[in-house]
Amino acid sequence: MMNFIRFALLIATASGIAGAAWGQAYPAKPIKLVAPSTPGDAPDVIARLIADKLSGQLGQPVLVE
């Protein structure tokens, strides 16, 4: 009987967590894109071009750091 109660609590907790995860629209806040170089280098420029395209497609600001 105790195993059944534990199993029922586990299922209830898992379904509560899964239900809360579906409550938010993705992305809910600005996205950070990290460029692994100094500003002005080629990877930074490419990251900024990608961020511009992603912002338009996702409808959410994409910040390059």
Task: Kindly report, residue by residue over 37-56, the tens digit of the pLDDT.
Answer: 888 899 899 999 999 998 98
Specify whether the backbone of 55 is left (phi greater than 0), alpha (psi in -120 to 50) or beta.
alpha
Per-residue pLDDT band at 14 (split at 50, 70, 90): low
pLDDT above 70 for 65: yes
Phi, psi of 48 (to 5 degrees): -70, -35
Report H helices in 1-65: 2-21, 42-58
Global pTM reads: 0.58
pLDDT in tens, 26-37: 777 899 999 888
* Percent of the chain at pLDDT exceeding 70: 66
